[in-house]
């Protein structure tokens, strides 16, 4: 009797599982959901991820950290990193309704895991703090170069951008409308002049 195929490419398995976690959240995602989305049986998942569902979820969060590292590299190479940050936020308005409804897996995890799983909550919160630090350091550099006229502290502006990120991920579920989202994002980005 032939069983489910073993997926040897953990990155592909994580990518597929991440989609389910992103849509349903950690708690609501069952092992059956993961098996269905990845094509891997429970045994294969546990063979590849010794910590089971939680380790697989952590790997999903780690992919977001990898995306942050790629964005950091783009900012470091950019002639206009503040414009790159602004364009990142403005690009949210152009995403499809499915992405608006999903929000951000990291921000979702902070909310879902508060009072439920301190480790996962802290991991997700750290990704947001690292993103804030990236914004803050970029702002400091651009203020020193005279490319950013705002006299608001870089630390405050970095936190503002994380606040915008978390807020926009709720607002986009309420108003998955390009023009409304763009208007609100542009308003919040006015502090980066």
Give the model's pLDDT for residue 9. Answer: 66
Mean pLDDT of 58-81: 95
* Confidence check: pLDDT of 6 > 70: no
Give the model's pLDDT for residue 2. Answer: 46
Alpha helices of the chain — where are they, by DSSP H?
Answer: 10-24, 31-38, 42-48, 52-77, 81-92, 97-102, 105-113, 118-145, 154-174, 178-189
- In whole angstroms, how far apart are CA 189 and each of 6, 89, 105, 151? 47, 9, 23, 14
For residue 59, which of 4, 20, 114 has the smallest C-alpha distance?
Answer: 20
Give the model's pLDDT for residue 7. Answer: 46
Mean pLDDT of 133-153: 96
Burial annotation 38-74 (CB, 10 A radius, 16+ → b, else e): bebbeebbbebbeeebeebbbbbbeebeeebeeebee
Give the model's pLDDT for residue 157. Answer: 98
Domain boundaries of the chain, sorted by first residue: 1-60, 78-189
Span 146-158, pLDDT tens digits:
999 999 999 999 9
Phi and psi at 82, nearest 5°, equal: -65, -40
Which has the minimum average pLDDT: 39-53, 151-165, 176-190? 39-53
Give the model's pLDDT for residue 48. Answer: 81
* Confidence check: pLDDT of 193 > 70: yes
- Percent of the chain whose predicted confidence (pLDDT) is above 90: 84
Span 8-49, pLDDT tens digits:
468 888 999 999 999 999 999 998 999 999 888 888 887 888
Which pTM does this prediction carry?
A: 0.90
Place of tokens 């364009």: 87
- The top-level CATH class assigned to 1-60 is mainly alpha
Span 71-111, pLDDT tens digits:
999 999 999 999 999 999 999 999 999 999 999 999 999 99
């Amino acid at each position: 009797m032939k069983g489910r195929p073993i997926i040897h490419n953990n990155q592909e398995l994580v990518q597929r599982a991440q989609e389910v976690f992103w849509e349903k959240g950690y708690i609501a995602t069952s092992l059956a959901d993961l098996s269905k989305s990845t094509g891997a049986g429970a045994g294969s998942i546990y063979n590849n991820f010794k910590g089971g569902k939680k380790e697989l979820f952590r790997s999903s969060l780690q992919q977001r950290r990898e995306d942050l590292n790629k964005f950091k590299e783009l900012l470091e190479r950019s002639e206009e990193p503040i414009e790159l940050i602004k364009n990142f936020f403005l690009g949210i308005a152009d995403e499809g309704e499915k992405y608006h409804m999903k929000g951000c897996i990291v921000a979702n995890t902070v909310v879902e895991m508060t009072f439920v799983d301190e480790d996962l909550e802290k991991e997700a919160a750290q990704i947001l703090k690292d993103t804030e630090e990236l914004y803050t350091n970029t702002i400091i550099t651009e203020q020193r170069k005279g490319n950013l006229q705002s006299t608001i502290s870089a630390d405050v502006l970095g936190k503002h951008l994380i606040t915008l990120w978390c807020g926009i991920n709720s607002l986009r579920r309420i108003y998955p409308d390009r023009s409304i989202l763009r208007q609100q994002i542009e308003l919040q980005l006015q502090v980066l002049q």
